């Protein structure tokens, strides 16, 4: 098998459709990789909720990011940044999780309702975080004005077409406060005192919030509970919450990465007490942060730079991201020991890359970071993994929407740009609601050196979904230095038409910035169709590609 030369070209892809089986053998010998899509092997429907987001009161996410205020000169819709609303609509944002994160377990929803001028100012959960960039000024990100509260968030969801997912405070409020938040959001117009309070704030009809998180990271910032303690709290919070005619979906605070013990002990305890009640989802969090190559597991020491990273950190970060597959299958197996019908699904409600401070757009953006083509490849890898497990993953929320970790947008005052991660979400939106089908990838593993020793990782990664006669195939090439010529076959059917969109960059540190906002964006690749049959496509190095295939 021979390696292709590095193609230092933003659009390195080329596609050749061959007639019948005549030329296939020749092409098979040339291609170094093969992808076979099996439309007759369905996995499950790709829940649109896999394309979910997360917005926490943290650094520049809410204030400066989403909320600019009604008096702002920045174009807005009722105080929400207009450019953000418009860009979000294009990617079909299925769901947004709010208000945290760790912040959720410090938040009193009552602080954020009623007349804005009268709302209390409170210290933000993150006020003392060691990661604050030097020179971070005081502002609502440190002393929250509560100008963005429940109704502002729910209106934001309405504007963008997303469903809300509210995360309740289990550490520092009571179950009664939780019931009352549900009452405020969902009780019929004029039925309760809280529904009248909602009406006075301009929303007479119920918001009909279906998704409710019962705490966040209850093993850590959400209370430092044992799984058994959390199971008792979970029951106290979730039993007998009034439904107001809705099919409420509760999401339990699941494990930190690979902590199978948290899942096993929690599920075990719930099973002992008769079952899972209205639990709909089990939240899994996984960040890709340790690029030390195994030298340390220290949370601060293990992180790397967002942009000026050494070459080996490309592989380390993407290998971390690729752990998502085993995290899903391992936790799923544990859940199945107790929930044999798999009534409860996985909700990966925090995922993404987490770098050292230093590349944020403004010092007030705690945990803000730049995003390169590496982040796009990470996003492609992760979303493809979710599709391959569409039977298990019911929702996922990239962390976080704007000005934070694996953001889709960077904004400061009137400046606003799309990151490479945004473009992956835009390209991949076509998968939403499709039937995920088995996709076999046969490609050489990607070799690199880890602390002087040979190591390897997955080179090509893919997933496919069927939408009647339209097939969406997405592929990431994690090889930063070599294009991959690949033969693509769809079992049992011929290909009628193909269109290709590719996101790549000649430089693995390339990124969009306020001064150069369009360095990385998807470009159509040439597709020359010559009748039905197998096809060959060359995936550019460090790329994310979407093929839209019309089946004959
Ligand atoms: O996304 C940032 C933080 O990461 C969240 O607040 C917390 O849930 C997680 O540890």
| 197-218: average pLDDT | 98
Tokens representing 129 are: 């975080």
Please, which pLDDT band fits residue 25 given cuts at 50, 70 and 90? very low
Tokens representing 517 are: 């906002």
350 is a catalytic site residue: yes
Residue to mutate, 127, 299, 350, 397, ligand 1, most ligand atoms under 8 Å from C-beta: 350
Run of H or E residues at 28: helix 24-30
Whether ligand 1 lies within 6 angstroms of the CB of 99 is answered as: no
What are the tens digits of pLDDT across the range 123-177? 999 999 999 999 999 999 999 999 999 999 999 999 999 999 999 999 999 999 9
Helix axes 373-388, 311-322, angle to 10 degrees: 20
SS3 256: strand
SS3 456: strand
What are the tens digits of pLDDT across the range 351-382? 999 999 999 999 999 999 999 999 999 999 99
Q: What is the pLDDT of residue 24?
A: 27
Instruction: Out of 67-81, 263-277, 514-528, pick the least confident.
Output: 514-528
SS3 453: strand
Residue in 49, 320, 350, 487 annotated catalytic: 350
Instruction: Out of 102-116, 374-388, 480-494, pick the least confident.
Output: 480-494
Contact present, 431 and 46 (Cβ < 8 Å): yes
SS3 452: coil
Run of H or E residues at 463: strand 460-467
Distance CA 335, CA 108 (A): 32
Run of H or E residues at 69: none
Distance CA 222, CA 218 (A): 4
Tokens representing 35 are: 């992808």
Distance CA 316, CA 443 (A): 19
User: In the block, which residue shows the tokens 């105080």?
Assistant: 79
Q: What is the pLDDT of residue 535?
A: 87
Contact present, 355 and 289 (Cβ < 8 Å): yes
Is the per-residue pLDDT at 387 higher than 70? yes
Is the per-residue pLDDT at 67 higher than 90? yes
Atom of ligand 1 nearest to the CA of 367: 2
Residue to mutate, 130, 300, 399, 400, ligand 1, most ligand atoms under 8 Å from C-beta: 399
Is the per-residue pLDDT at 22 higher than 90? no
Atom of ligand 1 nearest to the CA of 399: 1
- Cis amide bond preceding 400, omega within 30: yes
Whether ligand 1 lies within 6 angstroms of the CB of 102 is answered as: yes
Q: Tell me what the pLDDT averaged over the chain comes to.
A: 93
Atom of ligand 1 nearest to the CA of 54: 1
| Buried residues in 181-213 as b, exposed as e (16+ CB within 10 A) | bbbbbbbeeeebebbeebeebebeebbebbbbb
| 59-80: average pLDDT | 98
Tokens representing 7 are: 């193609």
Is the per-residue pLDDT at 342 higher than 90? yes
* CA–CA distances in Å: residue 414 to residues 63, 91, 144, 174: 13, 22, 21, 40
Q: Whose C-alpha lies nearest to ligand 1, atom 2? A: 101
Residue in 49, 180, 217, 426 annotated catalytic: 217
Nearest to 345 by CA among 301, 287, 414, 281: 281
Is the per-residue pLDDT at 1 higher than 50? no
* CA–CA distances in Å: residue 375 to residues 170, 288, 512, 543: 33, 10, 12, 11
Distance CA 54, CA 212 (A): 13
Pairing of strands 52-54, 393-399: parallel
Tell me the torsion sign for CA atoms 255, 258, 259, 265: positive
Q: Whose C-alpha lies nearest to ligand 1, atom 7? A: 101
Q: What is the pLDDT of residue 30?
A: 61
Whether ligand 1 lies within 6 angstroms of the CB of 217 is answered as: yes
Distance CA 518, CA 130 (A): 33
Pairing of strands 453-457, 446-450: antiparallel
Is the per-residue pLDDT at 17 higher than 70? no
SS3 240: coil
Contact present, 276 and 235 (Cβ < 8 Å): no
Distance CA 178, CA 159 (A): 25
* CA–CA distances in Å: residue 287 to residues 52, 350, 355: 16, 7, 10
Whether ligand 1 lies within 6 angstroms of the CB of 216 is answered as: yes
DSSP string, 370-422: --BHHHHHHHHHHHHHHHHTTTTEEEEEEE-SBSSSS-SEEEETTEEEE-HHH
Contact present, 38 and 471 (Cβ < 8 Å): no
Q: Whose C-alpha lies nearest to ligand 1, atom 6? A: 101
Atom of ligand 1 nearest to the CA of 400: 1
**E strand segments, 150-306:** 163-168, 211-214, 249-252, 279-288
Nearest to 213 by CA among 16, 52, 329: 52
Q: What is the pLDDT of residue 334?
A: 98
Tokens representing 332 are: 């799923």
* CA–CA distances in Å: residue 267 to residues 207, 239, 250: 31, 16, 14
Whether ligand 1 lies within 6 angstroms of the CB of 399 is answered as: yes
41 is a catalytic site residue: no
Q: What is the pLDDT of residue 226?
A: 98
16 or 389, higher pLDDT = 389
Please, which pLDDT band fits residue 278 given cuts at 50, 70 and 90? confident
- Cis amide bond preceding 99, omega within 30: yes
Whether ligand 1 lies within 6 angstroms of the CB of 105 is answered as: no
Q: What is the pLDDT of residue 13?
A: 38
Whether ligand 1 lies within 6 angstroms of the CB of 334 is answered as: no
Whether ligand 1 lies within 6 angstroms of the CB of 463 is answered as: no
Tokens representing 502 are: 């590719």
Tell me the torsion sign for CA atoms 203, 204, 210, 214: positive
Distance CA 12, CA 6 (A): 10
Nearest to 231 by CA among 215, 220, 245: 215
Whether ligand 1 lies within 6 angstroms of the CB of 151 is answered as: no
Residue 42 burial by Cβ neighbours in a 10 Å radius (0-12, 13-18, 19+)? middle
Is the per-residue pLDDT at 4 higher than 80? no
| 18-29: average pLDDT | 31
């Amino acid at each position: 098998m021979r390696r292709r030369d590095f193609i230092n070209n933003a659009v390195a892809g080329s596609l050749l459709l061959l007639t019948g089986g005549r030329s296939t053998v020749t092409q098979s010998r040339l291609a170094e990789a093969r992808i076979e899509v099996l439309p007759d092997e369905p996995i499950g429907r790709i829940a649109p909720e896999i394309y979910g987001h997360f917005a926490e009161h943290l650094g520049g996410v809410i204030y400066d990011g989403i909320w600019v205020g009604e008096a702002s000169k920045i174009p807005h819709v009722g105080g929400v940044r207009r450019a953000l609303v418009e860009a979000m609509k294009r990617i079909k944002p299925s769901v947004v999780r709010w208000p945290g994160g760790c912040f959720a377990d410090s938040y009193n929803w009552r602080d954020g309702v009623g007349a804005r001028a009268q709302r209390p100012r409170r210290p933000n959960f993150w006020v003392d975080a060691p990661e604050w960039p030097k020179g971070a000024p005081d502002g609502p990100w440190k002393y929250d004005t509560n100008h963005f509260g429940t109704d502002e968030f729910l209106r934001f969801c309405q504007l963008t077409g997303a469903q809300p997912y509210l995360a309740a405070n289990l550490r520092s409020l009571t179950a009664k406060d939780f019931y009352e938040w549900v009452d405020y959001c969902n009780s019929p117009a004029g039925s309760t005192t809280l529904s009248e309070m909602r009406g006075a704030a301009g929303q007479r009809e119920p918001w009909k919030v279906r998704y409710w998180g019962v705490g966040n990271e209850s093993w850590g910032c959400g209370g430092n509970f044992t799984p058994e303690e959390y199971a008792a709290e979970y029951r106290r919070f979730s039993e007998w919450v009034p439904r107001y005619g809705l099919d409420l979906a509760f999401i339990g605070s699941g494990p930190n990465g690979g902590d199978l013990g948290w899942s096993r002990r929690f599920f075990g305890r719930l099973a002992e007490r008769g079952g899972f009640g209205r639990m709909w989802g089990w939240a899994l969090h996984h960040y890709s942060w340790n690029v030390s190559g195994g030298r340390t597991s220290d949370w601060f020491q293990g992180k790397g730079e967002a942009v000026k990273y050494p070459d080996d950190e490309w592989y380390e970060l993407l290998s971390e991201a690729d752990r998502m597959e085993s995290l899903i299958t391992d936790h799923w197996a544990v859940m199945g020991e107790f929930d044999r019908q798999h009534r409860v699904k996985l909700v990966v409600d925090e995922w993404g890359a987490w770098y050292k401070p230093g590349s944020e757009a403004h010092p007030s953006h705690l945990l803000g970071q730049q995003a390169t083509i590496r982040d796009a490849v990470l996003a492609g890898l992760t979303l493809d993994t979710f599709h391959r497990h569409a039977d298990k993953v019911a929702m996922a929320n990239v962390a976080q929407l704007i000005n934070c970790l694996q953001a889709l947008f960077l904004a400061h005052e009137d400046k606003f740009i799309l990151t490479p991660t945004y473009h992956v979400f835009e390209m991949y939106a076509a998968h939403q609601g499709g039937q995920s089908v088995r996709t076999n990838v046969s490609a050489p593993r990607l070799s690199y050196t880890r602390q002087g020793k040979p190591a390897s990782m997955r080179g090509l990664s893919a997933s496919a979904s069927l939408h009647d006669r339209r097939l969406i195939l997405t592929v990431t090439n994690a090889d930063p230095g070599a294009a991959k010529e690949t033969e693509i076959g769809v079992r049992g059917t011929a290909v009628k038409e193909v269109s290709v969109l590719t996101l790549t960059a000649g430089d693995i540190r390339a990124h969009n910035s306020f001064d150069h906002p369009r360095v990385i964006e998807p470009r159509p690749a040439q597709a020359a169709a010559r009748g039905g049959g197998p096809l060959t496509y060359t995936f550019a190095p460090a790329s994310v590609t979407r093929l839209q295939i019309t089946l004959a």
